[in-house]
């Protein structure tokens, strides 16, 4: 029997949670696309396109979350100008120098 750590089990669960929607989408995308058109060439083209889009949307979503988090930190620093708030004092020079 292979010894698997708890961290590795969590990582496998995360990977499964990410790939499961992609697998489900591939099984049902042609049926869903069939609602909008009857042309088989459009459906086959759109199914491959949906796979590409579904893979690229996950990193974009992470980028949005991180970017809006950074924007929130900047807004807090503007509001609390000159005060130490959530230990953000080290970032004050970056914001002042860049003019954000």
d(CA 84, CA 81): 8
Nearest to residue 32, comparing CAs of 18, 16, 50, 17?
50
State the pTM of this model: 0.45
Helices (H) and strands (E) in the chain, counts: 3, 0
First vs last Cα of the chain: how many Å apart? 56
Q: Are 29 and 50 in contact (CB under 8 A)?
A: yes
Tokens 């099984």 found at: 27
Q: What is the pLDDT along the chain (100 residues), one digit of tens a residue?
A: 577 778 888 888 888 887 777 777 777 888 888 888 888 888 888 888 887 887 788 788 888 888 888 888 877 777 666 555 555 566 666 666 655 5
């Amino acid at each position: 029997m292979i010894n698997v750590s708890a961290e590795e089990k969590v990582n496998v669960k995360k990977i499964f949670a990410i790939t499961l929607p992609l697998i489900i989408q591939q099984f049902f995308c042609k049926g869903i696309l069939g609602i909008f058109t009857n042309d088989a060439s459009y459906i086959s083209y759109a199914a491959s396109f949906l796979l590409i889009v579904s893979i690229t949307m996950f990193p974009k979503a992470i980028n949005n979350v991180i970017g809006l988090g950074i924007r929130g930190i900047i807004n807090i620093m503007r509001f609390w100008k000159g005060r130490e708030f959530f230990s953000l004092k080290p970032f004050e020079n970056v914001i002042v120098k860049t003019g954000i």
